[in-house]
Homo-oligomer: A and B are copies of this chain.
Amino acid sequence: MRLSTKGRYGLKAMFELSLHYGEGPIPLKSVADEQKISENYLEQLVSVLRKDGFLESVRGAQGGYLLAKPPSEITVGSILRSLEGNMAPADCVMDDDINKCDREEHCVTKLVWMKIRDSIDEVIDSITLQDMIDEHMDILSNK
């Protein structure tokens, strides 16, 4: 049950941009270099994040990307869902009506998938980029 590189790279990039929040636009190249990700590939992920309202962009020389909201207002969950879709372990617990199965009402495995989904949601929705910055500072100061 691995996350794809979309979610993993995307969160890394968002974290990197958080570290520079308030400094104006950061070019994608420097984010890609810093996190060792293909710039062209990262471009696609960042494009999704921008369309979903997490990032703003400034075109042209000295341009780049910047967070559209303060780090404290962006959760890990919202980033991961933007890039990976719903974090449900099975289609039947995805909250859209498309994937309902016919044995719903007496399916015990569905209860298991719901518990997994809920516990993942609880974790990722409770961590903001600001929390990550704080943890990063703690690590740097050898706490």
Let me know if A3 is at the binding interface, CB within 8 A: yes
Indicate how many identical chains form the complex: 2
Contact status B8-A109, CB under 8 Å = yes
Q: With A and B bound together, what is the CA distance between A113 and B11 in angstroms?
A: 11
Counting chain A residues whose Cβ lies within 8 A of the other chain, the interface size class is: 35 or more
Q: With A and B bound together, what is the CA distance between A24 and B140 in angstroms?
A: 60
Let me know if A119 is at the binding interface, CB within 8 A: yes
B-contacting residues, A103-122, CB 8 Å: 105-106, 108-109, 111-113, 115-116, 119-120, 122
Q: With A and B bound together, what is the CA distance between A11 and B108 in angstroms?
A: 10
Q: With A and B bound together, what is the CA distance between A49 and B109 in angstroms?
A: 17
A contact patch SS: helix
Q: With A and B bound together, what is the CA distance between A111 and B84 in angstroms?
A: 19
Contact status A112-B1, CB under 8 Å = no
Q: With A and B bound together, what is the CA distance between A4 and B76 in angstroms?
A: 24
A interface residues, Cβ below 8 angstroms from B = 1-3, 7-8, 11-12, 15, 76, 84, 87-91, 105-106, 108-109, 111-113, 115-116, 119-120, 122-124, 127, 132, 135-136, 139-140
